[in-house]
Structure 1
Amino acid sequence: MAALLGCGADLEIPRPRTDDHPVLLWVSKTPDFPICPDGRLDYWDGWADVRTDPQYQNECGTCACSPAACALPARVIAHEVPLCADEGIKVKFAGAADPPGHCIETSPLVPGDAFASVTIRPPTMALACRPSDQFAPPPLSGTFARACPWIGEYDADFEGLVCIAPEHDGSCRPGFSARFEFREKIRDARTCTPCECAKPTGGSCVADVLLFSDTSCSDMLISINGIGTEEELCYGAPADSPLAGVRVVFARDEPGTCSPKATVSMVDGTIESGETRTFCCSSAEVVEVIYGNADN
């Protein structure tokens, strides 16, 4: 943005006045606001002609839904009496799905004199699909400005203009004829409507459960195949056989699907602006020649 206009004492570039709080004004088409010279924090931010880029049409993104995943049963209930007639003991097999079918040691191990029947819990399908992550509003287009306090000298590393306030009649004095008007940037209050998913449809989750009397899964007690999501089954156990190991695997793993309730996440809310401020800026984009920063 900045360009050295020339060198020499014949250049008459006016200094900013000292009675109306001169500023260094950064102006850009992108909102990548720079740090003010000396790290000053008492700056003023503004914008002009700010709007959502037309190519986005106030849309944040296209909504999607994850599958409603199938999950293998993670426990059985071991009963001390036949026909699953008591409350039983919850026997967990953590990590049954990682990977499916490997031998798992039950927790706790159930001794033979406490194992007469078993309730097999079914596989499950997720009750809901996970929607797309929350979108961020689309970028704004326009002209953006930051007015930094004048620090007594021009900072060549800060790509800005030297500006003063307009005259009482609103005009800009000679030498500071580049006129800018910006509204105060209050905040971007836009959000995006959340994506939501309808209930899952379709899919099929079917599991096979194999129970063993040893932790190495070599002595099989019971094999229950084709357990669907609607079933909870009771099976008798061989007499005096402990329950120590299990293998669980999907016979069918077909997740359900969900449709987004709305196809597109839309922009909601507006940008908030304050009062208009006018800047009269030096027509010289770089004034280092008068502030002792040039070599010529």
Structure 2
Amino acid sequence: MKRTDLALALLFAACLGGCEMLGGGTYHTCAEHCKTELDPDACIEACGTCAGQCVNPVPEGFDGPALLWVGRTTDEPQCPNSAPSTVYVGYETPDFPFVCDPCRCSEPTCALPDGLRTAASLRCDGIELSRHDARNIQGGTCVVPSEALASDRKALLLGAPEMTPCEPSVEPPPVPRIVSRWYRSGKACSGILPEDTCMAPKRCVPVDDRPLDHAFSQCIMHLGAGEATCPPDYPEDVVLYDGMVDDRHCSPCECGPPTGGECSLTLLSFQDEACSALLATDTTSGMDPACLAPVPGMKPKSMKAVWHVNDPGHCEPSGGELRGGITLTGATTFCCQTRPDKRPGENE
């Protein structure tokens, strides 16, 4: 992005050439203009005619004129030979695609309960006496219970499994995909002319000598801030910008609770140490634990827990939505004789 103040650029060019700033342009005398030509006399004779356009003085609050082009950034032309110096570059339409990646959720799981408990009664509503590590009996492994756990007078409780929450996806994360360029831009060009040959108070300024597909328009630049009212000589307004503030972002990804599933375990006790002679069995249901009531005189010799239903369901993702927007900054208004992005014969 480049922006050179039009007034300063023109003044700088005038000082370099020993020229004079006269209203709407910078001028040499014919003698100065032609002293480097191969045929100075012929040049001076031709110099008496305005090779550009005679224009009225620039209204107060404006600077120029300059030749302005506006179009697709990829089509930006060189300045015309008649006005070879670039004095302003700005932008009209941003082309920064911003897309949020879709949010995804990991799969929930059926989590094993935290422990196997014993109760001080024949029923599972008795007072809990102790908690034992249940990891070694879960997953269908046959184990021989410890003396503290196995009894023919105490009930056994296995807590209900839970569904673990889902985690939002991080590959790929919800980040923008941005192409850093402007779709349309503008370019103003100026040049140094021979001495003024127009009837006062008009001045001679360069005109576009490029083909129509790279046409420049005669424009003046508004020097103040805010909106400008274009004068009758330059009725078409064109607003260009120095840059932008882009605060677009994606909302964070989140996952809802697991739904549509079921997790339940079956607890089994056996009369032998090989988990073959079944003694008692019960299955967790919802949030209710599995309860094995004791069989008097029949101490469990082995036990195991197996999944009855292992279907944790799924989680609904949310987030990953576009927030914020683009604010264009550094507005500059040009007033033009015709719109730079319109060619003769084109429809409005």
Q: TM-score range by the shorter chain?
A: 0.3 to 0.5
Q: Identify, as 1 or 2, the structure richer in strand.
A: 1
- Whose relative contact order is higher, 1 or 2, with alpha carbons under 8 Å and at least 6 apart? 1
Using the size of structure 1 for normalisation, the TM-score is 0.47
Q: Identify, as 1 or 2, the structure richer in helix.
A: 2
